[in-house]
C-alpha cells in the first residue's frame, strides 16, 4: 500500500481552504444576502465529504479528483474550481476526519481527572481510525494545520496544564501521548486495510505459518521466547495481544507523566 503525505499543497491556498468556515463566520450574514435565491449545488464541504465517503467505501485511491468528480456528477475541471489539487483535497479530508473527534473545547464539560481526559482523546482517536482506516495510508509528518488538528493539540495541552509541569515538559508530554495514541490507532487501521485487501484475517495468516514453530524454531537460540511460551505468557489471538499492548503502553506512559508531576 502506497503511503501518501499530507501538507503538500500550496501553503496560502491550503490554509484558506482549511479555515474557510471559521473565516466565513464573521461575514455569514453578508454571504447569505449575496447568495439569496441562488444556492450553489456544490461547495467545498460537499467535495470533502464525497472524498471521505469514497475513501471509506473503496479506499484512498478511489478518492482521486476524477473519482470524486464522478461521484458528484460533475466534470473534473469543475471540481478544481472548489479544490485546486489532490494535495489540498487530501489535507481537507484528513483534517475533517480529525475534527469529527468529540473532544471538549474550552468551557465545555469534561471528566475531572486528567487521565480520564486523556482516555477521551484515546477513545475518540481510535474510533476515528476505525471509521476511516484509509488514514493509516496518510503520513502526517507535515500535518494539515487546520481546525481539526489544532483542536486535538489544544485538548491534550489543556488536560496536562493542571499538572504544573514546565511549559516545555507539558508540550513534550502532549506530543508523546499524541505520537503513541495516533501511531497505535494507525497500526490497527492498517491491519484492517490489509485484511480487507487480502481477504485473509491476521489469525489465518499466522495459522498458515504454523510450520515455523514445528520445523524452524530453535529453543536454544530463543530462550526468552521459549520461557514466555512455557509460562503461558502469550495471548490467545493477535487482536487480544495488540489490545493488551496498547493498554499497557498508554498506562505506563501516563504513569511516567504522573510521576514527574508528583516529583515537582
Please tell me which of 21-30, 32-41, 80-89 the model is most confident about, judged by mean pLDDT.
80-89
Counting residues of the chain whose pLDDT is more than 90, the rounded percentage is 87
Q: Where are the domains positioned within the chain?
A: 4-195
Q: Is the pLDDT of residue 142 over 80?
A: yes
**Rounded-to-integer distance, Cα 114 and Cα 116, Å:** 5
What pLDDT band is residue 36 in, cutting at 50, 70 and 90? Answer: very low
In angstroms, rounded to a whole number, what is the distance separating the alpha carbons of residues 189 and 186? 5
pLDDT tens for residues 3-24? 999 999 999 999 999 999 986 5
What span, in angstroms and rounded, lies between the C-alpha atoms of 97 and 51? Answer: 11
Residue 238 has a pLDDT of 85
106-129 mean pLDDT: 96
Count the neighbouring beta carbons within 10 Å of the beta carbon of residue 97.
Answer: 22
Of 75, 82, 71, 80, nearest to 45 by C-alpha is: 82
The whole-chain average pLDDT of the chain stands at: 92
* Cross-strand pairs, 5: 139
**113: confidence class by pLDDT, cuts 50, 70, 90:** very high
Is the pLDDT at 99 greater than 50? The verdict is: yes
Specify the 3-state DSSP secondary structure of 218.
coil
The answer, yes or no, to whether residue 27 has pLDDT greater than 60, is no
- Answer yes or no: is pLDDT of 255 > 90: yes
Residues recorded for the chain: 264
Query: Predicted confidence band at 37 (pLDDT cuts at 50, 70, 90)?
Result: very low
pTM score: 0.90
φ and ψ of 209, to 5 deg: -110, 25
CA–CA distances in Å: residue 253 to residues 52, 65, 151, 156: 32, 41, 22, 14
Lowest mean pLDDT among 28-42, 141-155, 161-175, 244-258: 28-42
Q: State the burial class of residue 257 (Cβ atoms within 10 Å of its Cβ: 0-12, 13-18, 19+).
A: buried
Q: What percent of the chain has pLDDT over 70?
A: 93
CB atoms within 10 A of CB 109: 6
Q: Evaluate whether 39 touches 175 at the Cβ level (below 8 Å).
A: no
Q: What is the reported pLDDT for 236?
A: 76
**Helices vs strands, H then E, count in the chain:** 14, 2
pLDDT tens-place string over residues 186-245: 999 999 999 999 999 999 999 999 999 999 999 999 999 999 999 998 877 888 889 999
Cβ burial of 49 (10 Å; 0-12, 13-18, 19+) is middle
Q: Are 148 and 11 in contact (CB under 8 A)?
A: no
Three-state secondary structure call for residue 138 = strand
Structure-model confidence comparison of residues 209 and 29, the more confident one: 209
State which fold the 4-195 domain adopts: Tetracycline Repressor; domain 2 (1.10.357)
**Which residue did the predictor score with more confidence, 54 or 233?**
54
pLDDT of the residue at 239: 86
Amino acid at each position: 500500500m502506497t503511503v501518501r503525505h499530507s501538507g503538500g499543497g500550496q501553503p496560502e491556498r491550503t490554509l484558506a481552504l482549511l479555515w474557510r468556515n471559521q473565516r466565513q463566520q464573521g461575514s455569514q450574514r453578508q454571504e447569505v444576502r449575496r447568495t439569496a435565491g441562488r444556492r450553489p449545488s456544490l461547495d467545498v464541504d460537499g467535495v470533502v465529504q464525497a472524498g471521505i465517503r469514497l475513501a471509506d467505501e473503496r479506499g484512498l485511491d478511489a478518492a482521486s479528483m476524477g473519482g470524486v468528480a464522478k461521484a458528484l456528477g460533475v466534470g473534473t475541471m469543475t471540481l478544481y474550481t472548489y479544490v485546486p489539487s489532490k494535495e489540498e483535497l487530501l489535507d481537507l479530508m484528513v483534517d475533517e476526519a480529525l475534527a469529527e473527534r468529540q473532544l471538549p473545547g474550552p468551557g465545555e464539560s469534561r471528566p475531572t481527572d486528567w487521565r480520564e481526559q486523556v482516555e477521551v482523546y484515546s477513545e475518540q482517536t481510535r474510533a476515528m481510525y476505525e471509521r476511516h482506516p484509509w488514514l493509516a495510508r496518510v503520513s502526517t509528518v507535515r500535518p494539515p494545520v487546520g481546525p481539526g488538528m489544532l483542536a486535538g493539540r489544544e485538548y491534550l495541552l489543556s488536560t496536562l496544564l493542571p499538572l504544573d509541569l514546565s511549559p516545555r515538559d507539558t508540550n513534550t508530554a502532549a506530543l508523546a501521548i499524541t505520537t503513541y495514541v495516533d501511531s497505535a490507532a494507525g497500526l490497527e487501521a492498517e491491519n484492517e486495510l490489509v485484511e480487507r485487501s487480502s481477504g485473509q484475517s491476521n489469525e489465518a495468516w499466522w495459522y498458515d505459518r504454523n510450520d515455523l514453530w514445528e520445523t524452524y524454531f530453535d529453543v536454544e537460540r530463543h530462550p526468552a521466547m521459549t520461557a514466555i511460551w512455557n509460562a503461558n505468557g502469550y495471548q490467545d489471538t493477535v487482536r487480544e495481544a495488540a489490545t493488551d499492548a496498547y493498554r499497557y503502553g498508554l498506562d505506563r506512559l501516563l504513569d511516567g507523566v504522573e510521576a514527574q508531576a508528583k516529583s515537582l
